[in-house]
Chains A and B, each alone.
Chain A
Amino acid sequence: DAGVIQSPRHEVTEMGQEVTLRCKPISGHNSLFWYRQTMMRGLELLIYFNNNVPIDDSGMPEDRFSAKMPNASFSTLKIQPSEPRDSAVYFCASSGDRVFNYGYTFGSGTRLTVV
């Protein structure tokens, strides 16, 4: 099992540009989570999906952020337009059935720098 796969690992972009982060969850997992990690705010849950449907997007900072999960094996997090305060490490995580309680599996993250 290759685990949760995120791409790219690093992204440097200029303010105002569109950024798309990608995630492939573990095959068979039906819940997917997007987190953002910064020194100031720690680990923040942005949005999560269950069976490809967004369940809770209350953590999405503002309309510049959007997330999609078109199928069980792929999700994207898009920031348009990007701003320097969006600089952070973005993690994707997946888990099995919601009653399966053995925690989440995290990807290695995408380090985003907006200059």
Chain B
Amino acid sequence: GEDVEQSLFLSVREGDSSVINCTYTDSSSTYLYWYKQEPGAGLQLLTYIFSNMDMKQDQRLTVLLNKKDKHLSLRIADTQTGDSAIYFCAEKKTSYDKVIFGPGTSLSVIP
């Protein structure tokens, strides 16, 4: 398809792990990103992964990339109420292309 796809909503209990999934458009996309948007704020780059990597870990965040299936996931360990936000998956095909954003997944963390 032409669009980056994400499920729109996810609800988890505080302390559990959250997994947000994304399907992107082009298996040759070189740069893949996760952005976080808190209420009333702009998007903030959370993490990124290049296509020559399968996994990237940064503290509580783990990004997994499956290039064959064009699937990207973001796992948040020990999810906290402060993690409640909208998470955007995004791709960039080459250095000179613009970034294409998904619709965002709204994560709700239940205390």
Contact = CB atoms under 8 A, between A and B. Distances in A.
Interface of A: 4, 33, 42-43, 45, 48, 56, 91, 93, 98-99, 101-109
A105 B35 CA distance: 10
A103 B45 contact: yes
Interface residues of B, number: 22
Closest 7 CB pairs of A and B: A106-B42, A103-B45, A99-B95, A106-B43, A42-B103, A101-B31, A43-B101
Contact of A102 (B43, B45, B101, B104): B45
9 contacts: A4-B42, A42-B104, A43-B104, A56-B98, A101-B31, A102-B48, A103-B45, A104-B99, A107-B42
B96 A98 contact: yes
A101 B93 CA distance: 11
B111 to A, nearest CB: 26
B51 to A, nearest CB: 11
B88 interface: yes
A103 B49 CA distance: 11
A13 to B, nearest CB: 20
